[in-house]
Amino acid sequence: MLETDQFKINIGPVHPSTHGGLHVEAVLDGEIVTDAIVHLGYVHRAVEKIAEDRTYAQFVPYTSRLDYLATHLPTLGYVQSVEKLIGVEVPERAEYIRVIMAEFSRIASHLIFIGSLAIDLGATTGLIYCMRDRERIMDMFEMTSGQRLVASYMRVGGIAQDLPDEFIPAARSFIHDLPKMIDEYEGLIMGNEILQARLKGIGILTPEDAINYGVTGPNLRASGIAYDIRRAEPYGIYDRFDFELPLGTTGDCWDRLNVRVAELVQSARIIEQALDQIPEGETKAKVPRVIKPEKGLEVYHRIESSKGELGYYLVSDGGEKPYRLHVRAPSFVNLMVLPLISRGGKLQDVVANIAALDPVLGESDR
Amino acid sequence: MSEYSLEDMLQALQEQLGEKMEVSSDSFFTFLRVAPGEVLGLAKNLRENYGFNHLANLSSVDYGETFEIVYHIYSIPENDKIAIKTSVPRNKAEIDSVFSVWPTADWQEREVYDLMGIKFKKHPNLIRVLLPDDFEGHPLRKDFKMEGR
Amino acid sequence: MEHWFLNIAHALTGWLVSLGLSPGWADFILLIVQWVCIIGIVTLNVIVLIWMERKVAGFIQQRLGPNRLGPFGIFQTIADAIKLMTKEDIIPSQTDKWIFMTAPMFFVVVAVMLYVVIPMGDGMQLVDLNVGLFYFISVGSLSTIAIFMAGWGSNNKWSLLGAMRAVAQMISYEIPLAFSLLGVVMIAGSLRLSDIVAAQGNIWFIILQPIAFITYFIAATAELNRGPFDMPEAEQELTAGAYTEYTGMRWALFFLAEYTNLVAVSALMATVFLGGWQGPWLPSWLWIIVKTYLVMQVFFYLKWTFPRIRMDHLMSFSWKFLIPVSLANIVLTGVGIEIFRWMGWW
C-alpha cells in the first residue's frame, strides 16, 4: 500500500465559490474530505454593536445590508419587531405591499441560489439566465424605493411610500412569465444529467440532524419537515394567503434545489393573491418621531426569510436606542451543518454543499 | 408537547424546581427564570419530556453587574414556544453549555462567548467565531471602548 | 485557388535553388518557413478563436460579448494580448523556478508539434509520417507532463490538486481516445493520415464509425481539459488549478497552448471522421478550415451549457463506459470487415 498523508486545503476566504468571505478548511485524503472546519467573520461589521448606537428608525437601512440578496426580508423582520415592541398597528395596504415585496425578495434570493448553484458546479450560463430574470425584480424594487440591491423600503409602522402606478402591471407580468422562466431553468440547469449526478445523494441531512442543528427554511423542508414560520406562526398578514410547503424527501442537495424551485411558484401564488386583495388606503401608521419603547420591554420576533428563521431579539431600556439587538441569522446557523454533510464526500461536493446551503455571509457574519 | 398544555407543563416544572424557578410572561413569551446551574437540567427536561427541540435563539444582554442569557426555544412541528432566562455575575461569567441538549448551541454559544465573553463550560470547542482569534476584549459588553470615533 | 500555397512553396524552393543552394538546403529552409508560418497562423488563429468563443458564450448567455474594439469587437483579444504581454511576470518565491518557467513553453511547443502531421489540404502536409495518427496521439499526451510541471512547480496546493486531476484524467482518457481511432485505422488499413483521408473518398468515417466518433469526441474533450471536463482548471473549485500561480504572458501561453490543442484536435477530427480536406467546390485548404471550425463550435457549445462533472464520475465514466464501448467498437469493426470480405463487398 502507498503511504498517504492528509492534505489541508483552505477553501476561501478568497475563492470563487464561497459566496463572500467564507473560509472552509478542508482536510483531504486524496479527493475525499475527512473534515471541514468553517471559519467565519470575514464580513463581520459589528451590526449588533452599531444598533446600540442608532435610534430604532436609523437602524433600518443596516438591516437591509444583512441579507443583501433578499433585501426586504431582513428589513421586514426588524420593523415588525420594533412594531411589536411599541405596539403599532400597520395599515392594511402597507401590510399587503410588505408581503408583495417580501415574496419578491424571496424569489430574487432563490433565483440567485439557483444561478449560483449552477455556476458553482461549472454551468456558467445558468447564473446568467437567473440574473436576467432577477433583474426584473430589481427594476421593481428600484421603482418603489429608488434602490436596487439594498432597498430599505420598510419603515416602522408601514412602508416608505406608496407603490407607483407602473408597479402592479410589472409585478403581474413577472408572475405571468415565471412559469416560462422555470421551464427554461428546467431545461438548462435542472434537466442536466451531470448536474443531477452531482447533486443527488450529496450532502444528505437527516431530519433529526436538521432539527438538532437548528437548520431552518428551505434546507429544513428539503429534509422533509414541513415547518415554515409563515405557516406555523404567521406574522403580518400571512395567515390570509393560501400556499403550499414544498418538501424534499432525502435531504440532499438535489432536494434543496427542488424545494427552492417549487417555492418560486408558491411565492408567486402569494404575490398574486396579494395583488388581487390589496386595498386602497394609508401606507404608514402614525408613529412617534422618536421611538421610545418602555423600559424593560423585550421581544424575539422571527420571520421566514429566504434562508430560514430570521429572528431579532430586541431589548429596550426606555431610551431612543435599542439596549441590545441580537440577530438570529439563518445563514449562520445553517452553515453549522456544513462539516457534517461534507465529511466523507469529495472536494467538489463541498462546493456543491456550500452553494446548496445558500449562506449569505453578510448575514452570517453580521 | 401536544398532550401537555403550557399550564400543565409550567405546573410540573414548578413542582420539580420549586423556588428555584420563577415564571413570568409578557404578550409574546413565557419566561422561565432559573439560576445558571439549573439551565442544563431544565433544558434537558424541556427537550426530552416536552419536545422543545428547536433552540431558535441564544443570546445575552449586558446589564452591568450581571449578564442575562436568554434561550428562545420552540418545538417543531407543534410550534410551542418558551424562553429560559438566567443571569450570571460579571466577574464570574460562566454557565454550562447546552450543546449536549441542542447541538445548534455550538456556534451560538461560541458567538456569545466571542462577543460577550461568557464562558460555556463543557463546550466542545469554545473559540471565537466571528472575531479574529487574537482579538482582545468582548465588543458587545457595554464597557468595551470603541476607538476611532 | 486550389494550389496557391503549393505554388508559393514551389516558387520559393525554385528561387532558392536558382540562388545556387542545393535542393536539400532549399527544402530545409522551406521547412523552417513552413514552421514559422504554422506558428504565426496558430497564434493569430487563437486571437480569432478567443474572440469567437466569447461571442458564442455571449450568444448562449443572451449578451453581446466583446463589441467595443473594432468591428464586432474583433480587436478585443489583441488588446487583451497586449495587456497580458505587458503585465508583470510574477514568479512566486517558493516555486521550483525552472519547472515553473518552462512548463508553459513546453505546453506550447507540444501543442504546435501536433500540426506536423495534419493534412491541411491536398498535398499540404509538413511531414507525411507513416505513423501519423500514432504520432499525434503520443505527442498529444505529452501535454499532461506540461500541466503536471505547472502544478508541481507552482508549489501550491490547488495547483497540485489540479495537476493530479489532470494527470489522472488525461491518462484515463488517452485509452478510449486511441481505441476509438483504431476502428478507423482498421478500415483505412493505415496509420498514415493522408491514407485515411484518401480512404474517405466515397464515404466519411463518421458514417461508418459513429460510435468511434462519439467516443473520440468525448475523450478529446477530456484530453483538451475543456468543459464539462475542465478538472485541471475548475475555477469554481480549484480557483484556477494548475494555472493559479501564473500571471501575464506565462498564463497566456497556457491559453495559447490550449486553443492550439483545440484546433489541432478539431482538425484531426475533421481529417479522420469528416473526410479531411475533401469536398466539392471549395479549395481543399478551405474545406479543412470550415470543418475544423464547425467541430470547434460544438466544443464551444458544450462548454458553455454543461456543468462540470465530478472527478470520480469522470474516472468511472472513462473506465466503465468509454473504454468498454470503444473496445466493443473495435470488435464490431473487425467482425464487420470480415463479413464484408466474406460477402465480397470489400
pLDDT tens for each residue of A287-330: 888 878 878 788 888 888 888 888 898 888 888 888 888 888 88
Residues 226-265 of A with CB under 8 A from B: 226-227, 232-233
CA distance C174 to C141: 7
Strand duo A32-39 + A23-29: pairing: antiparallel
Strand partners, A28: A7, A33
Query: What is the side-by-side strand order in the sheet with A309-317?
Result: A295-304, A309-317, A322-328
Q: Which chains touch C (3 or more CB pairs under 8 A)?
A: A
- Residues from chain A contacting residue C157 (CB–CB below 8 Å): 7-9
Q: Cβ contact (<8 Å) for A124 and C157?
A: no
B1 has a pLDDT exceeding 60: no
C244 has a pLDDT exceeding 70: yes
Q: Cβ contact (<8 Å) for A313 and B111?
A: no
B10 has a pLDDT exceeding 80: no
Q: Would you state the pLDDT for residue B148?
A: 57
Least Cα distance to C134 among C217, C194, C191 occurs for C191
Q: pLDDT band at B45, cuts 50/70/90?
A: confident
Instruction: Give the cell for residue A358.
Output: 445558500
Least Cα distance to A286 among A13, A113, A90, A141 occurs for A90
Q: Cβ contact (<8 Å) for B103 and A48?
A: no
Q: DSSP for A54-118, please give it.
A: S-TTTTHHHHHTTSGGGTHHHHHHHHHHHHHHHT-PPPHHHHHHHHHHHHHHHHHHHHHHHHHHH
Q: Would you state the pLDDT for residue C1?
A: 64
CA distance C118 to C132: 8
Closest partner residue to A192 among C63, C158, C306, by Cβ? C306
CA distance B80 to chain A (A): 10
Higher per-residue pLDDT: B70 or C235 = B70
Q: Would you state the pLDDT for residue A85?
A: 85
Closest partner residue to A347 among C60, C237, C309, by Cβ? C237
Judge whether A25 and A33 are in contact, CB under 8 Å. no
Judge whether C150 and C103 are in contact, CB under 8 Å. yes
A308: left (phi over 0), alpha (psi -120 to 50) or beta: left
Q: DSSP for C274-308, please give it.
A: S-TT--SSS-HHHHHHHHHHHHHHHHHHHHHHPPP
| Cis bond before residue A16 (omega within 30° of 0) | no
Tens digits of per-residue pLDDT, A215-239? 888 988 888 888 888 888 888 888 8
Number of residues written out for chain B: 149
In this structure, of A36-40, A321-325, B30-34, C228-232, the range with the lowest mean pLDDT score is C228-232
Helix (H, G, I), strand (E, B) or coil at A217: coil
Instruction: Give the cell for residue C35.
Output: 514552421
C149 has a pLDDT exceeding 70: yes
Closest partner residue to B130 among A226, A233, A365, by Cβ? A365
C237 membership: H or E segment, kind and range: helix C235-238
The gap between the terminal CA atoms of chain B, to the nearest Å, is 50
Q: Which chain A residue is nearest to residue C58, measuring alpha carbons? A: A125
| Burial track A222-235 (b if 16+ CB lie within 10 A, e otherwise) | bbbbebbbbbbbeb
Tens digits of per-residue pLDDT, A94-149? 889 889 989 999 999 999 999 888 888 888 888 888 888 888 899 988 888 888 88
- Average of per-residue pLDDT values in chain A: 86
Q: Which chain C residue is nearest to residue A116, measuring alpha carbons? A: C236
CA distance C321 to C315: 10
Q: Tell me, what amino acid is at C280?
A: P
Q: Cβ contact (<8 Å) for A347 and C161?
A: yes
Q: Which chain C residue is nearest to residue A14, measuring alpha carbons? A: C239
A161 has a pLDDT exceeding 70: yes
CA distance C231 to chain A (A): 10
Judge whether A288 and A295 are in contact, CB under 8 Å. no
- Mean pLDDT on C21-37: 80
Q: Cβ contact (<8 Å) for B56 and A211?
A: no
In this structure, of C197-201, C211-215, C232-236, the range with the lowest mean pLDDT score is C232-236
Least Cα distance to A326 among A318, A335, A314 occurs for A314
Distances (CA, A) of A258 to A222, A242, A353, C32, C237: 8, 20, 14, 60, 23
C61, C165, C225, C236: which to substitute to probe chain A, counting the most A Cβ within 10 Å? C236
CA distance A103 to C66: 36
Judge whether A154 and A95 are in contact, CB under 8 Å. no
Tens digits of per-residue pLDDT, A231-264? 888 888 888 888 888 888 888 889 889 999 999 9
Tens digits of per-residue pLDDT, A41-90? 888 888 888 888 888 888 888 888 888 888 888 999 899 888 888 888 88
- Residues from chain A contacting residue B59 (CB–CB below 8 Å): 313, 324, 326, 328
Q: Cβ contact (<8 Å) for B57 and A311?
A: yes
Radius of gyration of chain B measured on its C-alpha atoms: 16
Chains C and B are touching, with contact defined as 3 or more CB–CB pairs separated by less than 8 Å = no
> Which residues have a Cβ under 8 Å from the Cβ of C206 and sit 6 or more positions away?
C213, C273, C274
- Residues from chain A contacting residue C158 (CB–CB below 8 Å): 9
Strand partners, B85: B33, B70
Judge whether A165 and C344 are in contact, CB under 8 Å. no
Q: Give the position of cell 496521439.
A: C137
- Mean pLDDT on C275-294: 81
Number of residues written out for chain C: 346
CA distance A134 to A105: 10
Q: Cβ contact (<8 Å) for C313 and A125?
A: no
Strand partners, A328: A311
Judge whether C25 and C16 are in contact, CB under 8 Å. yes
Judge whether A167 and A140 are in contact, CB under 8 Å. yes
In this complex, how many residue pairs, one in chain A and one in chain B, have their CB atoms less than 8 Å apart?
A: 90
The answer to whether A324 faces chain B, any CB pair under 8 Å, is yes
Instruction: Give the cell for residue C138.
Output: 503520443
Judge whether B110 and B104 are in contact, CB under 8 Å. no
B25 has a pLDDT exceeding 80: no
Strand duo B30-33 + B81-89: pairing: parallel
- Mean pLDDT on B70-95: 84
Number of residues written out for chain A: 366
Closest partner residue to C305 among A125, A132, A348, by Cβ? A125
Higher per-residue pLDDT: A46 or A30 = A46
A3 has a pLDDT exceeding 50: yes
> Which residues have a Cβ under 8 Å from the Cβ of C183 and sit 6 or more positions away?
C209, C211, C212, C326, C329, C330, C332, C333
Q: Cβ contact (<8 Å) for B72 and A214?
A: no
In chain B, what are the helix, strand and coil shares in percent, each to the nearest 5?
30, 30, 40
Instruction: Give the cell for residue C328.
Output: 466493443
CA distance B113 to B141: 11
Tens digits of per-residue pLDDT, A140-153? 888 888 888 888 88
The answer to whether C338 faces chain A, any CB pair under 8 Å, is no
Closest partner residue to A300 among B29, B55, B132, by Cβ? B29
CA distance A325 to A322: 6
C104 has a pLDDT exceeding 70: yes
Q: Would you state the pLDDT for residue A154?
A: 87
For residue B35, the tally of other CB atoms under 10 A from its CB is 15
- Mean pLDDT on C92-102: 85
Helix (H, G, I), strand (E, B) or coil at C92: coil
The answer to whether C293 faces chain A, any CB pair under 8 Å, is no
Q: Give the position of cell 406608496.
A: A162
